[in-house]
Structure 1
């Protein structure tokens, strides 16, 4: 564990001093009366107090940054501004709202910025979830289907420019049930395509997608960024008609079911099931894609893509010492064109281990190492993967 902390410190070395909005005056009871001197000491002091409870702040902001690595972007540097707040400070039972703004660059030429936020309105009457991002990423395209992705070295190099925006607005129907409308906009363009003979090519090179549709959620999680118990279930259906600017008409059905249970002190069992089903004339970059930092960790995101996708994973999360925790997981998934073509012999297996450091109260920085059947990768991020 000491070695892990020594390795993690350089990752967090770019941290700045915590920023707070409308902070109440100090009560004078703090035992920390002398400001640390020197950059290294200030970083250590900052890290030691990021998870302190701050009851007198309307908005608790913290900044963190450092080296990162993923299979898709290679080594790079990322920075993130994270915030927690309540829309009604007088309601201690109201779930905490959160927002994260991030940016990163990598040696491959990748760069991107984005924002993820969940706002819980007073009395939990409404919930608004927003995800927005822009990225420029040197990417690889294997084609569509399991057989195309299985040819590990048969891919096309290209540059992918992507703009995404998803907004989910939900109303509380009764206690734990929510229903609402989800809107999604995605603009993607493939540039600098390697057109060498025999390699798979994507057509068209520019794809615009805009869709909207209803969803229903059942949510009993005790803490959204890092649940210890409860259930999260969501089913959503989005339409992408041509009158919204799409070149073709298609639909997307999405299912998610997560379950959390505390097994013993510091030990949490978490399970995740996810499925996508697409119908109609679906563009190549709007298809379901396996891999990435959340599901089937270890596989290059987008190597396997098709109309349908199912995956499941089980993760054991164990608190180890002070602010350090560890996780192990195993999972699997399938991509396929039709349900009658689903073959368990084509299941993609994933397993790995991870380290968690409590950056803020119950909000973790995560470092994962995932392995697939013939790939592996490191992942660095904030909050649990589900």
Structure 2
């Protein structure tokens, strides 16, 4: 596996360097006022009820792989490095490549870190939150091809390594590896990738963890999402409606479970509500003012199943909040920002790279 990770990192570095080299070769054909690469370094500052204070940096760049391609969105490459006051840390590399007049879309990622988190356990004498430490390495990618107008099909692969130890041995320590194979179908009519103002995005993913590629037990996940974007206030603002369903089937491990607050419904940061699957609906209004700033307001509700705490299953977990947005790049509408949200007996702050959905 170490050889795979070394090859993967080498490919990431080569991809970025190739993009930079391609840019350098074509600068003579451009106006001297046109930047071939839009680069920025954003500070990361956040607080989480589990991870405490978090700080770090996010260097990012946007660029065209082919300067003659006027249809493909700009590609994005970046790195996130974060340290927290509860002694957690992680680093992540992310790449989104668009090329051949948006005929192909390629995403690659790598992440590694040590996170000190918590989970809720009630199947003992004293129900309470218990800490656990998880050392993680994750890597993978997806490749999508436009089959017909607005419809994409694709495949993907992901690898994850978890070394998990629990407080007071409430659960046995474990070292697990997962290898996931993915099939993707997506219908995308959005007018922009990074900040859509109209259109829809419908996406269906099936992820399989079969034993024949190294998984200890067999499991499957079905991930669905539907986003609808409505232009508001003469297209100055955007209203977004979203449905999302994440369905775990088979032997879903603790590390593969879904926790409310990690992705969709904001307002939960203690890691209390987790299970094999989650369903949620939500909406968000994106208000823009000035040239680079904006505000968002959002609300939604989720439910889970497959929780180890039976009383949590199929309950309703609402979340609502507000956020601030700042345009990170001069030549592309791409926001970073900070959200504050409240949930059922919980609350959370969320630093955003791009929009929530």
Which category describes the TM-score, using the shorter chain as reference length? Answer: 0.7 to 0.9
Task: Select the residue among 183, 205, 209 that pairs with 2:178.
Answer: 209
Q: State the Cα RMSD in Å.
A: 2.8
Distance 2:197 2:253 in 1: 38
Task: Give SS of 2:212's match.
Answer: helix
**Cross-structure match for 1:247:** 216
Question: Is residue 225–residue 383 contact of structure 1 (8 Å, CA) maintained in 2?
Answer: yes
Question: Is residue 270–residue 314 contact of structure 1 (8 Å, CA) maintained in 2?
Answer: yes
**Cross-structure match for 2:74:** 96
Task: Give SS of 1:226's match.
Answer: coil
Distance 2:215 2:291 in 1: 51
Distance 2:199 2:322 in 1: 23
1:48-67, CA deviations, whole angstroms, 9 ceiling, x for partnerless residues?
A: xxxxxx7341x322212243
Distance 2:270 2:312 in 1: 21
Distance 1:303 1:209 in 2: 24
Task: Report the count of equivalent residues.
Answer: 329
Question: What displacement does 1:132 show?
Answer: 2.2
| Shift >6 Å, 4+ stretches | 341-345
**1:289 corresponds to 2:289:** no
Distance 1:204 1:237 in 2: 29
Rg larger in 1 or in 2?
1
**1:235 corresponds to 2:204:** yes
With over 3 angstroms needed to count, the CA separation of the structure-2 counterparts of 1:98 and 1:224, relative to structure 1, is: same
With over 3 angstroms needed to count, the CA separation of the structure-2 counterparts of 1:28 and 1:223, relative to structure 1, is: closer
**Cross-structure match for 2:46:** 68
Question: Is residue 40–residue 328 contact of structure 2 (8 Å, CA) maintained in 1?
Answer: no
Distance 1:98 1:78 in 2: 19
Distance 1:28 1:290 in 2: 48
Distance 1:28 1:274 in 2: 44
**1:184 corresponds to 2:158:** yes
Distance 2:311 2:201 in 1: 26
Task: Give SS of 2:168's match.
Answer: coil
Distance 2:110 2:66 in 1: 25
1:290-327, CA deviations, whole angstroms, 9 ceiling, x for partnerless residues?
A: 212x3111102642221221112100000123322100
TM-score, normalization by structure 2:
0.84
With over 3 angstroms needed to count, the CA separation of the structure-2 counterparts of 1:256 and 1:207, relative to structure 1, is: same
TM-score, normalization by structure 1:
0.78
More strand by share: 2
Question: Is residue 291–residue 303 contact of structure 1 (8 Å, CA) maintained in 2?
Answer: no
Distance 1:344 1:73 in 2: 26
